[in-house]
Amino acid sequence: MPVRLMESLSTTGPLAELFSDDSVLQAMLNFEAALARVEGRLGIIPRAAASAIAAAARTAKLDGASIASESLQSGTPAIPFLVAFREEVRAQAPAAAGFVHWGATSQDLCDTALVLLLQRAQRIFESDLRRLERALQRLSERHKRTAMLGRTWLQAAPPVTFGLKAASWFGAVHRGSQRLTAAFEDCLVLQFGGASGTLAALEKDGLRIAQALANELKLACPEAPWHTQRDRLAALVCACGVLAGSLGKMARDITLLAQNEIAEVAEPASAGRGGSSTMPHKQNPVGSAMALAAAQKVPGLVSSFLSAMVQEHERAAGGWQAEGSIVSGIIQNTGLAIACMAEVAEGLAVNPERMKANIAATHGVIFAEHASMLLGKKMGRDQAHKLLEEASLKAVAGKRKLSEIMAETPDIAQHLSGAALRDLEKPEHYLGAAEEFRRALLAAARPESSTHNRSKKKPATKKKR
């Protein structure tokens, strides 16, 4: 399905298709077909009726626009959907139409259809997250010795490695992926409670139908229906919010590093990507921009979902009705951010020479902390700090190396040899535990701790929520 123009900066093709009218209606049809099959097997409805309902679900041609329009009159798309679907069944097997949706309620249909869509969304997310994590691991390994400026308050600070920076992005993405997997697994549960959440219409058969229906749909069967308990979905959207924020942080770093004045990295270039309508020279960081846009939108949508959790008694008036577009927006924007940053990471151009030049442009003042620590052992921290502060000001004002100013300062030179001063401004001599931290961050992806190896669900028959 083509992405609608107004949503073109908020979704991907696969996610736009996932939440298209046809896809949503198919998820609803899948619920009704599964319910009929289960109830037919268990002898709750006639087997012939169950077969007819399942057959109609495979061939039904429903008008999404008409159902959407009529939903405003009913307060739920379930009612016009069921009217249209029963007509499809009646056209093929009139006697079967009365057994459609047997024992279920509108929210059972809509919530389970949403869960089925989320089940597909998880697979899309996992594919792009694997791409992103692999790309960040490669970047980190490739640049484990590539020194660059650390930056605090957007100002030059002692050096780090680009390998550590990429590993820190990886760490946040991997932790976010773990949270997301756990949240998906928790919320991929059947909704089936009937009118008031007791399955009273199905009498003694309600519980076994629920378990069989969960198995049929490859979902977990919860302890009880969750019509107005939205905590599982809330945990999922919150996990999306955290992950979107981590992706936004990565995107922010890249956009700053890609500025012409910095020029330490560049997003992958291709024909038509990142251009300007008026400035032929532009190469805009479009992937990072899309992730940043998502990081700005998703938190507000998460807040809206959390506000809608305050739902009344056994069926909400307003809160539940607010959720569909909110969840769709969160999933699509988060998925877009993941896909965009995967593409960015896979093609990111890193410029180590520019990183060296930017370190050199500081005239060595970023190593003042190092010098202060060396001197502090000789004369005490306070005096060393004062001397280095004065030397740094002179170095900046005169555009000279800090080591030269230090060599000309008797109170410093008497304590530090010429060799020590020459080594002072070598970035590789002041990286601390950068490599140990980098390796520790990447170790989170070992097979035994991998999110993706733990994401396979147990059979629904063995799980109770």
Domain identity same for 66 and 128: no
Domain membership of residue 152 (yes or no) is: no
Q: What's the pLDDT score for residue 274?
A: 58
**What contacts 24+ positions apart, CB below 8 Å, involve 415-421?**
415/374, 415/375, 415/378, 415/379, 416/371, 416/374, 416/375, 420/374
Domain range for 46 is 1-104
CA 13/CA 282 separation, integer angstroms? 26
Domain identity same for 369 and 452: no
CA 181/CA 178 separation, integer angstroms? 5
Q: Concatenated DSSP letters for 395-416?
A: HHHHT--HHHHHHT-HHHHTTS
Q: What is the CATH number of the domain that holds 451?
A: 1.20.200.10
Domain identity same for 331 and 242: yes
Q: What's the pLDDT score for residue 456?
A: 45
Domain membership of residue 450 (yes or no) is: yes
Domain identity same for 287 and 262: yes
Q: What's the pLDDT score for residue 130?
A: 97
pLDDT digits (tens, 9 = 90+) for 144-168: 999 999 999 999 999 999 999 999 9
Domain membership of residue 210 (yes or no) is: no
Domain identity same for 12 and 118: no
Give the tokens for residue 147: 């020194």
Domain membership of residue 203 (yes or no) is: no
Q: What's the pLDDT score for residue 418?
A: 83
Domain membership of residue 429 (yes or no) is: no
Domain identity same for 327 and 246: yes
Domain identity same for 348 and 252: yes
For the annotated catalytic residues, the residue numbers are: 276, 315
Domain identity same for 275 and 394: no
Q: What is the CATH number of the domain that holds 379?
A: 1.10.40.30
CA 45/CA 38 separation, integer angstroms? 9
From 42, 72, 104, give the residue that closes a domain. 104
Domain identity same for 166 and 287: yes
Domain identity same for 58 and 118: no
Q: What's the pLDDT score for residue 281?
A: 57
Q: How many domains are there within the chain?
A: 3
pLDDT digits (tens, 9 = 90+) for 50-86: 999 999 999 999 999 999 999 999 999 999 999 999 9
Strand partners, 161: 147
CA 228/CA 107 separation, integer angstroms? 10
Burial class (CB within 10 angstroms; exposed 0-12, middle 13-18, buried 19+) of 307? exposed
Determine the 3-state secondary structure of 313 from DSSP: coil
Length of the chain: 465
**E-assigned strands of 335-433?**
349-350
Q: What's the pLDDT score for residue 463?
A: 47
Q: What's the pLDDT score for residue 421?
A: 86
pLDDT digits (tens, 9 = 90+) for 234-277: 999 999 999 999 999 999 999 999 999 999 999 987 655 655 44
Q: For the chain, which ranges sit under pLDDT 50?
A: 276-277, 280, 449-465
Q: What's the pLDDT score for residue 28?
A: 98
Where b means 16+ CB within 10 Å and e means fewer, 392-425 reads bebbeeeeebbbbbbbebebbeebbeeeebebbb
Q: Report the predicted TM-score, pTM, of the whole model to 2 decimal places.
A: 0.90
Q: What's the pLDDT score for residue 273?
A: 62
Q: What's the pLDDT score for residue 40?
A: 98
CA 298/CA 330 separation, integer angstroms? 6
